[in-house]
């Protein structure tokens, strides 16, 4: 019998709260999808533009599902355009950006495709390329990194 000598990796669940500090997103719920290769974030009002001879994109992220509150305005350099096949089988050309992600006290760079995810259950999909060799995924577990604290209402403001 072979003994596994690989170091143990931290565990994340099939859904987690993460932050995207470079984009100004303090918390966004992601679906951790081992079946998806690439990662995608909900990006609306996308506008391509040029800065210093390079392609950039301006867009908004609504980090909370079913809410237009807390919109975050973002500008990012486009590193590529890729054809991505959605879960419904339709291929779409999407801009790709690079940014950092934080979860379980770890911070690293990932690539994100930009897409309107209004019809999806999560504002962000974390594909296997983003967490490969960093985490094990517990398909039955959720929120190993915790949940963001809800803001308490001040009764004076009600």
Considering the domain boundaries, does residue 8 fall inside one?
no
Please check whether residue 20 is in contact with residue 28, taking contact to mean a CB–CB distance below 8 angstroms: yes
Domain that holds residue 22: 15-138
Considering the domain boundaries, does residue 117 fall inside one?
yes
**Any idea what the CATH number is for the domain that residue 108 is in?**
2.40.70.10
Please check whether residue 73 is in contact with residue 25, taking contact to mean a CB–CB distance below 8 angstroms: no
Considering the domain boundaries, does residue 120 fall inside one?
yes
Q: Which residue has the tokens 């719920």?
A: 29
pLDDT on residue 84: 86
Considering the domain boundaries, does residue 153 fall inside one?
no
Please check whether residue 41 is in contact with residue 130, taking contact to mean a CB–CB distance below 8 angstroms: no
pLDDT in tens, the chain (158 residues): 666 666 689 999 999 999 999 999 999 999 999 999 999 999 999 999 999 999 999 999 999 887 777 899 999 999 999 998 876 778 889 999 999 999 999 999 999 999 988 888 899 999 999 999 999 999 999 999 999 877 554 444 44
Residue 110 host element (H or E): strand 106-115
Considering the domain boundaries, does residue 3 fall inside one?
no
CA distance 114 to 46: 8
pLDDT on residue 121: 85
Considering the domain boundaries, does residue 126 fall inside one?
yes
- In the chain, the number of structural domains is 1
pLDDT on residue 155: 46
The b/e string for 92-126 (b: 16+ C-beta within 10 A; e otherwise) is: eebbbbebebbbeeeeeebbbbbbebeebebbbbb
Neighbours of 10 (CB within 10 A): 14
Q: Which residue has the tokens 């596994």?
A: 4
pLDDT on residue 7: 65
Considering the domain boundaries, does residue 1 fall inside one?
no
pLDDT on residue 6: 65
């Amino acid at each position: 019998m072979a003994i596994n000598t690989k170091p143990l990796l931290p565990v994340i669940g099939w859904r987690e709260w993460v932050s995207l500090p470079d984009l100004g997103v303090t918390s966004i719920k992601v679906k951790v999808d081992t079946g998806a290769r690439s990662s995608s974030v909900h990006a609306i009002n996308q506008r391509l533009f040029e800065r210093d001879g390079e392609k950039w994109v301006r867009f908004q992220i609504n980090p909370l599902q079913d809410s237009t509150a807390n919109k975050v305005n973002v500008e990012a350099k486009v590193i590529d355009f890729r054809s991505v096949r959605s879960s419904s089988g339709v291929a779409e050309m999407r801009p790709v950006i690079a940014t950092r992600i934080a979860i379980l006290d770890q911070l690293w760079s990932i690539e994100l495709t930009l897409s309107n995810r209004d019809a999806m259950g999560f504002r962000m999909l974390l594909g296997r390329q983003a967490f490969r060799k960093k985490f094990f995924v517990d398909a039955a577990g959720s929120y190993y990194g915790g949940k963001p604290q809800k803001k308490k209402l001040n009764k004076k403001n009600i």
